[in-house]
Amino acid sequence: MSYEVPHMAGDDEIEFGSLPEGGWPRWEAFVRQRGGLSHVYSESVHAPDAETALLNARDVYLRRVEGVSLWVVPTADVHVWESDSPNNDPLDDTAAGSSLWEIFVRHRRGLAHVHAGSISATCPADAVDRARNVYLTRDEGVSVWAIPASSVIAADPAEAAALFEPFADKDYRYPTFYEIPEEVGYM
Amino acid sequence: MSTDFYRYLLRHGDDNLVLSQRLSEYISYAPELEEDLAVANIALDHLGVAMHLLEYAAGVGDNGHSADELAFHRSERDFTNLLLVEQPNADFAHIITRQFFFDAYQVGLWEALIASNDETVAGIAAKASKEAAYHLRHSSSWMIRLGDGTAESHARTQAAIDALWRYVGELFESDTLDEAVSAAGLGVNPASLRAAWEERVDGTLNEATLSRCEDDYQRNGGRRGFHTESLGHLLAEMQWMQRAYPGMQW
């Protein structure tokens, strides 16, 4: 019986492109869990574009929690203010037209940033100021992230079945699925 | 009919089992950590479907073989998977193109099998169709990115299309078994899936600035147990532990 050797493009046949310095850019991922009221910060992923960022965030952060909604944001679009950091980078205060900003607040050190709500503002500095006035009046936060609403890429609710449901019946994704042999002892 | 149905379940179980093993081989080699997790996830989805189908086949076949035995104790000639899914991970473009062709096929397959008058098959199809929709979204977006990317990614992806095109025809070939099973309302005739597959594939290839292979030479034989050289190597790695230590658990 004959068989095929896979065809590989030889080095002489292709023109080499170049990868961006430092690999793919970073994106921040936010998940709303089933029964949850707000989107909560998960962590970041690397991806070449928004579509891949969504798919990567889905694969990395929805394996062990039951999500119902997923947002990703280019890390470069997250404007940060921290209560106990004297060296907060000065935020851009060049006022443009008023636009919508999504505000995330970290209530205590060790907790994740949680979506607090949306406000209108004219620039990153304005957004953080307003967010502190609205959400931190009683010092109930240690860090604020302001993100232009236009930078938030949300998973299409119409695709929820393909994005979120396949994880539901796979209990082998949880560490508790596996029995640890007695000989191993405490891990 | 029950023999035909058994073999029908094996065919589709084998497709998913073999592809799952192929994808697993790639784990830790993907270009980025995130893509590694994506490939592992997709491999697990295929493994889950394979498990359901082989377990069901073991029941229908009633020949004393468990699902594990079907997976680990059959030899190459007994596997009836499509030649496409056993093709090696030559490079990332091959992996994505193989997946893209197969996802575009499975999306249509599961959609049709949801209407099977066998409840178990319909149930497996309902679950798998959601996974396949995600798989196709993942592989199509990579086809577009690679095809419409750099000169190198375009050349490699077109090379992968040209190398794998010869295995595409087999996806839609039907034999007397397919005809019997689909006539009984249990399965679907693969030939009926072709038009929608072509539409899905052409749309993405177009956007990706890629084209179908011009050479229309086609291979087949997988459904009858005649495989390319690659399957034997894959099975050797997948099966050696159960062959060396039959029935071992861990």
Q: How many angstroms separate the CA atoms of B138 and A51, rounded?
A: 9
The fraction of chain A above a pLDDT of 90, given in percent, is 42
**Closest CA in chain A for residue B227:** A3
Chain pair A-B, CB pairs under 8 angstroms: 92
Select from A60, A18, A55 the least CA-distant residue to B139: A55
Distance from the B48 Cα atom to the nearest Cα atom in chain A, whole angstroms: 9
Q: How many angstroms separate the CA atoms of B249 and A27, rounded?
A: 41
At residue B48, what is the residue type? G
Q: How many angstroms separate the CA atoms of A138 and B195, rounded?
A: 63
Select from B162, B146, B102, B206 the least CA-distant residue to A9: B162
**Closest CA in chain A for residue B157:** A9
Residue A15, pLDDT above cutoff 50: no
Q: Which two tokens stand for residue A20?
A: 């961006």
Which residue bears the tokens 């560490």? A175
A165–B145 C-beta distance less than 8 A:
no
ipTM of the complex: 0.74
A17–B149 C-beta distance less than 8 A:
yes
A13–B152 C-beta distance less than 8 A:
no
**B163 in reach of chain A (CB within 8 A):** yes
**pLDDT at position A20, please?**
55
Q: Among the listed ranges A157-161, B6-10, B15-19, B207-211, which one has the minimum average pLDDT value?
A: A157-161
**In this structure, how many other beta carbons lie within 10 angstroms of the beta carbon of residue A123?**
19
Q: Determine the angle formed by the axes of helices B92-113 and B151-164, rounding to 10 degrees.
A: 50
Q: Are B107 and B132 in contact (CB under 8 A)?
A: yes
B34–A17 C-beta distance less than 8 A:
no
Return the HEC string of B16-27. Answer: HHHHHHHHHHCC
Q: Are A134 and A117 in contact (CB under 8 A)?
A: yes
What are B22-64's pLDDT values in tens digits? 999 999 998 888 899 999 999 999 999 999 999 999 999 988 8
Which residue bears the tokens 């179980």? B13
Q: Give CA separation, B192 vs B105, B108, B112, B179, in Å.
A: 11, 9, 10, 11
Higher-scoring residue by pLDDT: A35, B187: B187
What are B64-109's pLDDT values in tens digits? 899 999 999 999 999 999 999 999 999 999 999 999 999 999 999 9
What are B179-219's pLDDT values in tens digits? 999 999 999 999 999 999 999 999 999 999 999 998 889 99
Which residue bears the tokens 């597959």? B197
